[in-house]
Amino acid sequence: MSTERFHQPLTVWFPADLDPHCAGADLHGFFHAETAQVVVLQPGAAVAGSRNLSQSTPRLQARFDEQGWDFQADGWRCDARPYNLDRDLFSRHRGLLNTASMDSCGVIVCGCGSVGSLAALDLARSGVGRFLLVDEDLLSIENLCRHQCGLADVGRRKVDAVADRIRQINPMAVVQVAAMPLEQLDPAVVAAFSDTGTLMLACADSRRADRYAARLAARLRLPFLSIGLWEKAFAGELFYWHPDQPMPCYSCALEGLDQAMPNRPQPQRRFYSTETDLEAQTFQPGLAIDIAHVTQIGLKLALDLLNRNVPTYVPRLLGRLSQYTLICNTNDQRIGGEAAEIFSHPLQVTTSIQVGYANTSRTCPCCA
């Protein structure tokens, strides 16, 4: 195959700050034959699906002299176009987010399933620069209808598949993975990853796991956000906590809530499948579009928590939503069952539910 068949020169997009030492070395990136476009990556950028452009067809060669970069494909001169990730990647955020402070933010994503994979990728798109992905599961065929990764990732660890997707959005992002439940991860690893700009994001499929994440966050003084779906994803719940002012922790708040709403039927079953019902947990039905609606509202809160001390940032929801928020997709009982009656209309987002400290708060290690 030769570049002649494209009837036009190849367009080569390359990093504007490509190191001149790369001339003569192997270049990696993407080649799109149908549009005659080539994207060259910074050396060392481990982006899934990229290939060695210097040893494939067409064979790309680069030269650097006082005129700048010159690229040839199979001996044909290319149209060289520099790009600047630092400048261009988040240029559409101007006036909305501070790119530098977002890049220094870290997020610990506990659970990389339907909620966690969407959360991780949208936070990467928002400019979060550091991720610690925690999940022990492999991606299966049944996951694809509501996960951000695809068929090529089936059989891979979810953390690896999501890490690859993050790097496809931002090759400069720092991504650490832990293929185990958070409970089994050495807290020292979490502590080493964490600083004042780090958020603990609990996206597990059980409250038990989210409780553990909340306790660890409190110990490390990290802001915490839990995004959880109710049965069939007809609704979901958000809970946040941060260390800047006294507020009930996840465990205490939910205990207090159960006491405050004693007439609600079977709260355990309503919030999640029972924790002993593992099969039901594994096969919890729910549509991606319903899961996404709850998750996206949670992510607005995540942005607010990450930027809560950035003077120029305008919070979207923090201060408007209470610590515990319910989000309804549909209040039709044919989907939501009896619990759906607590919502007055579809797409309802509560703003007024107040949570308190449990009676045991004096002995709670988080709230004490």
Which positions from 308 through 367 interact with Zn ion, judged by CB under 5 A? 364, 366-367
For residue 344, the 8-state DSSP code is S
- Report in angstroms how near the CB of residue 367 gets to Zn ion at its nearest: 3
Torsion, CA 266, CA 268, CA 269, CA 271, rounded to 10: 120
Contact 83, 107 (CB under 8 A): no
From CA 53, how far away is CA 51, in angstroms rounded? 6
Which positions from 139 through 198 interact with Zn ion, judged by CB under 5 A? none
- Report in angstroms how near the CB of residue 251 gets to Zn ion at its nearest: 5
3-state SS of the chain: helix, strand, coil percent to 5?
40, 20, 40
Stretch that binds Zn ion, among 11-19, 97-105, 249-257, 290-298 (CB under 5 A): 249-257
Which residue among 209, 252, 306, 318 contacts Zn ion (CB under 5 A)? 252
Specify the residue, 257 or 366, whose C-beta has the smaller distance to Zn ion: 366
Specify the residue, 89 or 249, whose C-beta has the smaller distance to Zn ion: 249
249 contributes a contact to Zn ion by CB under 5 A? yes
Specify the residue, 200 or 291, whose C-beta has the smaller distance to Zn ion: 200
Which phi and psi (to 5°) does residue 214 adopt?
Answer: -65, -40
**What residues are paired with 37 via a beta bridge?**
11, 32
- Report in angstroms how near the CB of residue 213 gets to Zn ion at its nearest: 14
118 contributes a contact to Zn ion by CB under 5 A? no
> Which tokens hold the place of 203?
């996206």
- For 72-116, the DSSP string reads EETTEEPEEEEE-HHHHTTGGGTTTS-HHHHHH-EEEEE--SHHH
Specify the residue, 95 or 246, whose C-beta has the smaller distance to Zn ion: 246
Specify the residue, 224 or 272, whose C-beta has the smaller distance to Zn ion: 224
- Report in angstroms how near the CB of residue 191 gets to Zn ion at its nearest: 20
123 contributes a contact to Zn ion by CB under 5 A? no
Name which of 315, 186, 169, 336 is nearest 269 in CA terms: 336
- Report in angstroms how near the CB of residue 356 gets to Zn ion at its nearest: 10
- Report in angstroms how near the CB of residue 260 gets to Zn ion at its nearest: 15
Point out which residues bind Zn ion (CB under 5 A).
249, 252, 364, 366-367
